[in-house]
Amino acid sequence: MSRQIFSDWDIPKHILDALANEGWEFPTEIQREAIPSAREGRDIIGQARTGSGKTAAFGIPIIEKSEPTGKPQSIVLCPTRELATQVCNELQWLQGKKGLTILPVYGGTDLEKQAKKLDSGVDIIVGTPGRVIDMTKRKHLELASITLLCLDEADRMLDMGFWPDISWIFSNMPERNQTLLFSATFPQEIIDSTEEFLNEPVTVMSDDLEVEVPEIDQHWIKIGRANKLWAVSRILVNMSDSDQCLIFCNTKRMVEMLEDRLGKHRFSASTLHGDMSQNKREKVMAGYREGEIKTLIATDVAARGLDVDGVTIVINYDLPDNPEDYVHRIGRTGRMGRKGQSWSFVGRDDLRQLERIRTTWNLNITKSDAPELPENLNRDPVRIRKDWNESSDPFGMVRISIDAGENTITSSLSLSEWIISQAKVKELAIGEIQISSDCTTVDIHAESAQRVLEIMERREFNGNKLTANLENR
Ligand code: ADP
Ligand code: MG
């Protein structure tokens, strides 16, 4: 069987020309499976992994079905402005010489200018829900004439955050006769909810809703707050000139803080989050796409859909709250069969969340150490610190192991009295002491552990120097 090529389909010549221009010859799997049904006018639930070409899977039929009449016929809704821009650009080149007016409609840009453009005629809208509703209410956009609705990142668009807006848009589109939903993830409850507004949809989906993740080497590092900056620095110093890194934090504040802290250690990075001006957001995205910006720190505004060729490394500085977000975040690398790697920082309180992510998607995430320093560096740009909290048990105790056994430490009482008098710690700060033939362990409250280690380094116990270390557990 020979491989399907785009020109096997009787799609219009202007699209075929555009595809050829772009150097695309073979449709991807999701394109092969979704495009024929979409062309027939069917509703579609299309699931395929990140970076597998879903945009053209809905883009080609949308272009084919729309005519340059100046009346809006199709609308694509996206969760973020960055994604709306990107999708709009792809539809733009996909249409070739068809002459459709395709407009992005999202917030943060001049309302008047946008209204003027809409007033002078538009065929396809690509936008975010808020601004689309706004423009409709101001009568610059006529949803009533639109027959085709597409939700990119559909599970996100249908979750509770966006649902009120989407539902408003649905109810203002009486002529809607085709609905296309695309995403890499479709939680079952979202699929169930689509019954309300889809009409005998064709479902294109991998088995058991399992996501296949592209070629991404997924690592996790056991690390607490105190040393995440050190771990980031280890990854950043190992980047080559052709690498680009995307770091996800869970809050805007953390994004800003991390940029600031990295800056203090002379790492340059840019940020992207929802509190930035639209102008700044666009500048940053352009710089990142161009590869001028090597490291971008972002909230989940960057998690969905963004297709930046050069992203080779994704870091979850914080683990995401939703298992879906994990898949989307790491999917910013490994686009279209390229290789990528992801690093997730997991403190002991995050272990359960990591397990949840792993089991939800049946993922292979390998426990690793932070990368070694490269050969041309002999010292860490960020020093690693003793992270007492990360090593303590639920009672706040950490375990110190001493390189001396019963010959040196003859009784636990003598050791604890020595610690109390030398380190000036309270008796309560000392827990269990176990002495064996060649090694001794002492449990110490995390708050006092640093002092205890210090006196062990400096002072002698019964005329012996003790070598003590924090035990990792
Ligand atoms: P998804 O939405 O599934 O994450 P995209 O639509 O963003 O993926 O596509 C990922 C990348 O693959 C983009 O850079 C896109 O231009 C490219 N691409 C998509 N389809 C093809 C194709 N048939 N041939 C070559 N490149 C493609
Ligand atoms: Mg996409």
pLDDT at 71: 96
Q: What is the number of domains present in the chain? A: 3
pLDDT of 258 strictly over 70: yes
Could you tell me if the CB of 55 is within 6 A of ligand 1?
yes
CA distance 346 to 176: 45
Same domain? For 99 and 179 the reply is yes
pLDDT at 211: 59
Query: Are the C-beta atoms of residues 52 and 128 closer than 8 Å to each other?
Result: no
CA distance 228 to 242: 24
Same domain? For 456 and 340 the reply is no
The verdict on residue 82 lying in a domain is yes
Ligand nearest to the CA of 50: 1
Same domain? For 434 and 347 the reply is no
Q: What's the predicted TM-score (pTM) here?
A: 0.87
pLDDT at 208: 46
Best probe residue, ligand 1, of 19, 52, 80, 86 (max atoms within 8 Å of C-beta): 52
Same domain? For 354 and 465 the reply is no
The domain in which residue 439 lies consists of 388-471
The verdict on residue 375 lying in a domain is no
Confidence of residue 2 (pLDDT cuts 50, 70, 90): low
The verdict on residue 55 lying in a domain is yes
The verdict on residue 377 lying in a domain is no
Same domain? For 31 and 149 the reply is yes
Query: Are the C-beta atoms of residues 107 and 180 closer than 8 Å to each other?
Result: no
The verdict on residue 374 lying in a domain is no
Q: What is the dihedral of CA 179, 185, 186, 187, to 10 degrees?
A: -160
Tell me the pLDDT tens digit for each residue of 406-448: 999 999 999 999 999 999 999 889 999 999 999 999 999 988 8
Same domain? For 31 and 76 the reply is yes
pLDDT of 213 strictly over 70: no
The verdict on residue 383 lying in a domain is no
pLDDT of 272 strictly over 50: yes
Mean pLDDT within 209-231:
85
Of 184, 205, 226, which residue is a domain's last? Answer: 205
Same domain? For 97 and 153 the reply is yes
pLDDT of 207 strictly over 70: no
Could you tell me if the CB of 51 is within 6 A of ligand 1?
yes
pLDDT of 214 strictly over 80: no
Tell me the pLDDT tens digit for each residue of 40-74: 999 999 999 999 999 999 999 999 999 999 999 99
Same domain? For 107 and 47 the reply is yes
Same domain? For 454 and 361 the reply is no
pLDDT of 1 strictly over 60: no
Ligand nearest to the CA of 29: 1
Mean pLDDT within 90-94:
98
Could you tell me if the CB of 53 is within 6 A of ligand 1?
yes
The verdict on residue 380 lying in a domain is no
Give percent of the chain above pLDDT 70: 97
pLDDT at 393: 83
CA distance 15 to 314: 34
pLDDT at 209: 47
Same domain? For 143 and 285 the reply is no
Residue whose CA is closest, atom 25 of ligand 1? 24
Q: What is the dihedral of CA 387, 389, 394, 398, to 10 degrees?
A: 50
CA distance 420 to 444: 11
Closest CA to 190 of 152, 151, 155, 153: 155
Mean pLDDT within 150-164:
96
Of 212-216, 351-355, 376-380, least confident by mean pLDDT is 212-216
Same domain? For 185 and 253 the reply is no
pLDDT at 54: 96
Same domain? For 173 and 268 the reply is no
Best probe residue, ligand 1, of 29, 336, 338 (max atoms within 8 Å of C-beta): 336
User: Within a 10 A sphere around the Cβ of 356, how many other Cβ atoms?
Assistant: 15
Across all residues in the chain, what is the average pLDDT? Answer: 93
Of 205, 240, 272, which residue is a domain's last? Answer: 205
CATH number at residue 436: 3.30.70.330
pLDDT at 473: 62
The verdict on residue 382 lying in a domain is no
Of 177, 205, 233, which residue is a domain's last? Answer: 205
pLDDT at 206: 60
Mean pLDDT within 345-359:
95
Q: Is 240 helix (H, G, I), strand (E, B) or coil?
A: coil
CATH number at residue 362: 3.40.50.300
Atom of ligand 1 nearest to the CA of 56: 6
Q: What 3 state SS string does 252-308 have?
A: HHHHHHHHHHHHHCCCCCEEECCCCCHHHHHHHHHHHHHCCCCEEEECHHHCCCCCC
Strand partners, 401: 441, 469
**In angstroms, what is the span from residue 76 Cα to ligand 2's centroid?**
12
419: enclosing H helix or E strand = helix 412-423
CA distance 8 to 31: 13
